[in-house]
Structure 1
Amino acid sequence: MNHSSVSSGSPSPAARTGDAVRRMTARSRDEEHRASTPLELFFDLCFVVAVAQAGGRLVHAIADGHAGHGVAGYFLLFFAIWWAWMNFSWFASAYDTDDVPYRVTTLVQIVGVLLLAAGVPRGFDDGDFQLVAIGYAVMRLALVTQWLRAARSAEGEDAAGARKTAVRYAIGVTACQAGWMVLLLPHGAPPGWAFLVLAAAELVVPPLAERAAPTSWHPHHIAERYGLFTIIVLGESVAAATVAVQSAVDEHSALGDLLPIAAGGLLIVFSAWWIYFAVPIHDYLVSNRQAFLWGYGHYAVFTSAAAIGAGLEIAVEQAVGSGDISLRTAAWSVTIPTAVFLFTVWLLHSRHSKHGVAQQLTLPVAALGVLACAWTGEHAVLWAGLVCAGAVAVGVALQAREPV
């Protein structure tokens, strides 16, 4: 499916500074030097709070022997975080006007993020998702007002299609949000099947809405936005692991036991960064079909990247004897999310630029190798880090052998 702009495009906000209110017409997909704005970066940083809350509760659940409950709650809450972030990012790529109403509405969405983050502990511990539901509603309904504004501002040859797409988005998001409020506002954890139904409904809104006319998202901008959020999530993993090591050293003076975990964790995170950014992806994002699969697949990339940090915290707690955590559980807590990250980055990202069997197999084989590290005992994290670093080294060597 070929992707075309909803309209012929409009000047970038930088070219129209000083306007308090602008028409929210689609930006050009061919706009040069399109980069993330300071407001988008601020928006991303505020999401770190919610990511940290979800990861922290996952650690506590596993440490208390409730791994199943913790993993399920983590995936549920991270879906709300990821989906709200993703919807804002794709909308902004097509319609960012950077005027006063747009900025205020985005700041309102940030308030919703903070409310959701504040509700994470109650949702995890008590099954009370009321505050999570309210925060999610603030984020989503603020986005509805943006879509309605885009519908009202549509102009040009494709105005009818653009207006229909925007209205479909507004209706779809509102309908899903009504379902979430019914599901989450009553006290008590929602049934799993109901969550899956509403999550599926959320996922089908964009494909259905864009049948009328595709929005003019910018491939370079989208690739940068996803890359920046990946960096933020990996950074949160580093921060979480650092705090865990510091606390363990302060309370248990177990530096010798923690050095292999710290070294392995850094190798994993450094390798994850290297692997994700080894090749540009914007040239692959040429249609809605490819972009939707790539964008949706990043749910696994983001959840696994954040879970690496949680796993490192669990490994630290096991090493110092805090909590009821077995050696194998601690190892799986790091190796599983690391393997998922390696495989999904290859599946979504890297394989499109790989040539030959050796290059294609490097990351899948490394993912299997990382999983096998769970059987290496107390140094599982260090071995997993060495496998990841080895995958990077092999990838660099194979790329260097290619003819220029």
Structure 2
Amino acid sequence: MTTEAERGWLTPMRARSAEERHRVSTPLELFFDLCFVAAVAQMVAPLHHDISEGHGRHGVSSFLLVFFAIWWAWMNFSWFASAYDTDDDVYRITAFVQIAGALVLAAGVKPAFDGGDFVVITIGYVIMRLAMVVQWTRAARSDAPRRATALRYAAGITGVQIGWLVRLALPEDWLVPAFLLLVAAELLVPVIAERAPGGPTTWHPHHIAERYGLFTIIMLGEAVSAATIAIRTGLDLGEHVPALVSLAVAGLVIVFALWWLYFDRSAGGLLTSLRVAMLWGYGHYFILASAAAVGAGLSVAVDHYSHPAHVTAVVAGYAVAVPVALYLFFVWLLHIRPHRRRPLVVAYLVGAALTLLAPLGPAPVHVVAGLLTVLVAITATLGRRRTPAP
């Protein structure tokens, strides 16, 4: 670890210990997360409007495509920083370049949603990823034992970015297949690089768990923000005030419960191997995207109450229920199932299934809030019972 006295313009990028004590997120990492909020906020608003206007398929597909770019750039920086955070001046400036790329990406969200124009988003994404090439090149120069690993990362990222730029020139019919192919290539880069002869990078399990937890909080915070703006707009109309207040309370209960269920226990102890950690990290795409999409869903529910929307009550209910159910399923898969506590394993799956049925009845948002409250109660009781000693 580079101390404050040792930090300078350019210091050797030595690998940090995976067993370092008291490893926590740095101010730069927290600032990095905060700046990514702008891009996420730009995605949630058009998702909400597309669903409310009856264009749910377009909105969801655009949201998932754009969210991948944000999530993958954030994820790669976080794992790199866990192993090689020198906090020198060049490291900080390179991180700022990545933040700038995220803001460029945010500026391209509207054209992407409105007309399928991904030029600005691609440019912003490539800026973020090429900044990571600089970081990996530095690591290759300083960390001799893992030089092959770092060089594989640098070469793989560079090659895929060329692919993203080439995609801009492809015919429209090829865009989706090319996107899927490039996503697969992005996901394979760490899998191939971490298996280089020099061995994997020295990521810190508890630091990684904390980083993902902080980003999950940001996504849930975005859900609160989006729902608050929608409810305030509805209240300004002066109609349906009791229903909107009730909906606001139910929405808050949903977000509070989602936070509780994710953070009921630390995930650091689950990351026991590279394979497990990669699956855990990749699976968080669905947790993070679902958490952000809950805000859009609550906004759609507000639209349905406050003024005529182009969707039925069932569709408005599913705008909340689907992301909540996905969130529950992947929290179960990544956090609950590994502990093998049968009552909780069953409770989460039942909760997700009942959540998907809620929109078929009255007051679906309130029903979902009630189901999550019950699940929190089960988690707070059964989940904390100690296994009796043999």
TM-score, scaled relative to structure 2: 0.96
**Distance apart, 1:350 and its partner CA:** 1.9
Deviates more, 1:12-21 or 1:50-59: 12-21
| 1:205-220 paired onto structure 2 within 5 Å | 205-212=189-196, 213-220=199-206
**Distance apart, 1:19 and its partner CA:** 2.5
Query: 1:30 maps to what in 2?
Result: 19
Deviates more, 1:185-194 or 1:169-178: 185-194
Separation in structure 2 between the aligned mates of residue 273 and residue 109 of structure 1, nearest angstrom:
28
Q: 1:311/1:189 Cα in 2 relative to 1: closer, same or farther (>3 Å)?
A: farther
Query: 1:50 maps to what in 2?
Result: 39
| Residue 357 of structure 2 corresponds to residue 368 of structure 1 | no
SS of the residue 1:45 aligns to: helix
Deviates more, 1:209-218 or 1:316-325: 316-325
**Distance apart, 1:237 and its partner CA:** 0.2
Query: 2:148 maps to what in 1?
Result: 164
Separation in structure 2 between the aligned mates of residue 354 and residue 385 of structure 1, nearest angstrom:
26
Given the alignment, which residue of 84, 87, 91 partners 1:102? 91
Gaps of 5+ in 2: none
- Deviations, residues 83-120 of structure 1 (Å, cap 9, x unaligned): 00000100110111000000000000000000000100
Query: 1:359 maps to what in 2?
Result: 344
Q: What value does the CA root-mean-square deviation take over the aligned residues?
A: 1.6
SS of the residue 2:3 aligns to: helix
Query: 2:316 maps to what in 1?
Result: 330
Separation in structure 1 between the aligned mates of residue 70 and residue 173 of structure 2, nearest angstrom:
18
Alpha-carbon contact 2:7-2:86 (below 8 Å) kept: no
| Residue 336 of structure 2 corresponds to residue 347 of structure 1 | no
Query: 1:111 maps to what in 2?
Result: 100
Separation in structure 1 between the aligned mates of residue 48 and residue 67 of structure 2, nearest angstrom:
14
Separation in structure 2 between the aligned mates of residue 177 and residue 57 of structure 1, nearest angstrom:
26
**Distance apart, 1:397 and its partner CA:** 1.9
SS of the residue 1:191 aligns to: helix
**Distance apart, 1:346 and its partner CA:** 0.8
Instruction: Name the aligned partner's letter for residue 357 of structure 2.
Output: A
TM-score, scaled relative to structure 1: 0.92
Instruction: Name the aligned partner's letter for residue 266 of structure 1.
Output: L
| 1:280-359 paired onto structure 2 within 5 Å | 280-355=266-341, 357-359=342-344
- Deviations, residues 132-189 of structure 1 (Å, cap 9, x unaligned): 011001100010011011101123xxx2xx1111111011101111111111367969
Of all paired residues, the percent bearing the same amino acid is: 50
| Residue 244 of structure 2 corresponds to residue 258 of structure 1 | yes
SS of the residue 2:86 aligns to: coil
Deviates more, 1:268-277 or 1:57-66: 57-66
Query: 1:222 maps to what in 2?
Result: 208
Alpha-carbon contact 2:336-2:344 (below 8 Å) kept: no
Q: 1:52/1:188 Cα in 2 relative to 1: closer, same or farther (>3 Å)?
A: farther
Q: 1:214/1:403 Cα in 2 relative to 1: closer, same or farther (>3 Å)?
A: closer
Deviates more, 1:146-155 or 1:100-109: 146-155
Alpha-carbon contact 1:80-1:136 (below 8 Å) kept: yes
Separation in structure 2 between the aligned mates of residue 184 and residue 318 of structure 1, nearest angstrom:
38
Separation in structure 2 between the aligned mates of residue 33 and residue 324 of structure 1, nearest angstrom:
52
Separation in structure 2 between the aligned mates of residue 277 and residue 43 of structure 1, nearest angstrom:
22
| Residue 279 of structure 2 corresponds to residue 279 of structure 1 | no
- Deviations, residues 302-323 of structure 1 (Å, cap 9, x unaligned): 1111110110000001111243
SS of the residue 1:25 aligns to: coil
Deviates more, 1:363-372 or 1:289-298: 363-372
Query: 1:236 maps to what in 2?
Result: 222
Q: 1:249/1:17 Cα in 2 relative to 1: closer, same or farther (>3 Å)?
A: farther
Separation in structure 2 between the aligned mates of residue 187 and residue 64 of structure 1, nearest angstrom:
28
**Distance apart, 1:252 and its partner CA:** 4.0
